[in-house]
Structure 1
Amino acid sequence: MSQPANAALILIDMEMGFLSPQSAHCIPSAAKTVPNCQRAIASARKRGIPIFFVIRQYRPDGSDVEITRYPEWAAGGRAMAPGSCGPLSCQMPPELAPQAGDFIIVKPRWSAFFQTQLDLMLRRLDIETVVLAGTTTPNCVRTTCYDANALDYNVVVLEDCTSSKTDEIQRVNIEDMARMGATIIDSAAFEARGVEGMENLRRQVHAKACESCVPRG
């Protein structure tokens, strides 16, 4: 199946430091989403949709750890150091390992867009729609969702590829992103259709703006 190259899959923070029960930063339900994330990755590859693996790393001295996370990070083994391996590392599980041609971005804070080259790279690829997956829903997925909306991308969230500390946190944040304008689907729907048939608000609004432009000269 072919897919216009106007969508990108962005997989956020699916690294051992958030997946392993041995990590102080573990999101218990995140490991359960690995098969669904794997399914989404396979679907994107099949359709020629570029994949961005976005991860968080922390300097061993903790100088770049979020102030609200620092006490937990320091007490919990100083996880996710660059080049580390094992249950506290920033490595992804084998099922989600990047391949040649995939993109890897290290982000310094919650959003995949904050002080990274993600927006530049997406625009260079003429991406109009971002498909979000990963952990956690209320933090890194949601901030990426809102930043993507602010930057005029169509936003799709793969609900069963995201996770939160509780079911209630998951529910209210998914609902909030839907109210903001994100399209909420699951990995099965993405496997079946990709982003085909979804409304391209970005293109519609940009076209309207161009129609209203007054020629100069």
Structure 2
Amino acid sequence: MSAATPTPAAPLDARRTALVIVDLQHDFIGDGGAYARGGAASDAARRLPARVAPVARALRERGGYVVASQFTLWPDAEGEPMISPHLKQLRPFLARGDFEAGSAGHAVVAELDGLVNVSVLKVAYSAFFNTQLDWLLRRVGIDTVAICGIVTNGGVASTARDAHMRDYRVLVLGDGCAASTGAAHDTALADLRTVGEVTTCDAFVARLSA
């Protein structure tokens, strides 16, 4: 008896689909950014913009919506960044001006210039937490979100789970994400299959309908 033929993946209505790009910012992955200065920039993460930009372009060309989340360190009354204790312990090199809204380091990487419909500023892992992302997506008629960016087991995972809890159809672009290690990345993707579909950048683009 022959093996069953795999069921083709269903097409995606681009006009009801959003690409959520998590934290591809200069301070995280750019030369001279905060993480590069602190020796914490990831080579795997630095390769993502070239992979994600064609996906954003394809979705925009078909009438879809592209959102970038930007991790933000807001200043206190003295101008010092308000860094959560766990992050300060993990990244002690973070300093005044890093991830400050409007700064060069806070900006989305140049490869995505002209490809993002809107950015949301976030203070924690999830792009939904204390942002207007859910309002924006519903306002433009989105029911499906494809998530990519950094890190797979942090901002990407939290955003995917929050999207699932809000009843969006969730896809995670596995090769459009990165973590600190390959093992952490693979484990996170395996876990995320409980809340959505894990696919690739090319496969996602191939399923988009105009």
For the criterion TM > 0.5, the same-fold answer is yes
Whole-angstrom distance in 2 between the partners of 1:45 and 1:135: 21
Shift of 1:185: 1.0
1:28-77 CA-to-partner distances (Å, cap 9, x unmatched) read 310111111111111111211111111111124122x2221124545344
Letter in 2 for 1:96: L
1:62-101 CA-to-partner distances (Å, cap 9, x unmatched) read 22x222112454534442112222xxx11122111245x7
1:7 is matched with 17
2:196 is matched with 182
- Residue 186 and residue 82 in structure 1: after superposition, are their counterparts in 2 closer, same or farther (change >3 A)? same
Query: 5 Å matches for 1:130-209?
Result: 130-178=145-193, 180-194=194-208
Letter in 2 for 1:70: K
Whole-angstrom distance in 2 between the partners of 1:59 and 1:31: 25
Shift of 1:131: 0.6
Could you tell me which runs of 5 or more consecutive residues in structure 2 were left unpaired when the two chains were aligned: 1-11
2:106 is matched with 90
Whole-angstrom distance in 2 between the partners of 1:30 and 1:16: 11
1:138-187 CA-to-partner distances (Å, cap 9, x unmatched) read 00000001111111111001111100000000000001001x13111111
Q: Is residue 85 of structure 2 the alignment partner of residue 75 of structure 1?
A: no
Q: Is residue 58 of structure 2 the alignment partner of residue 48 of structure 1?
A: no
Equivalent pair of 2:81/2:95 in contact (CA under 8 Å) = no
Equivalent pair of 1:16/1:92 in contact (CA under 8 Å) = yes
Percent identity (aligned) = 25
**Farther off after superposition, 21-30 or 10-19:** 21-30
Question: Given the two structures, how large is their TM-score scaled by the length of structure 1?
Answer: 0.80
CA RMSD of aligned residues (A): 1.9
Whole-angstrom distance in 2 between the partners of 1:67 and 1:74: 10
1:170-207 CA-to-partner distances (Å, cap 9, x unmatched) read 000001001x131111111122122x6xxxxxxxxxxx
Q: SS in structure 1 opposite 2:190?
A: helix
Equivalent pair of 1:8/1:127 in contact (CA under 8 Å) = yes
Equivalent pair of 2:161/2:195 in contact (CA under 8 Å) = no
Letter in 2 for 1:7: T
> Could you tell me which of 28, 32, 38 is aligned with 2:43?
28
2:6 is matched with none
Letter in 1 for 2:137: L
Could you tell me which runs of 5 or more consecutive residues in structure 1 were left unpaired when the two chains were aligned: 197-217
Whole-angstrom distance in 1 between the partners of 2:188 and 2:14: 29
Q: Give aligned pairs, total.
A: 188
Q: SS in structure 2 opposite 1:109?
A: coil
Q: SS in structure 2 opposite 1:69?
A: helix
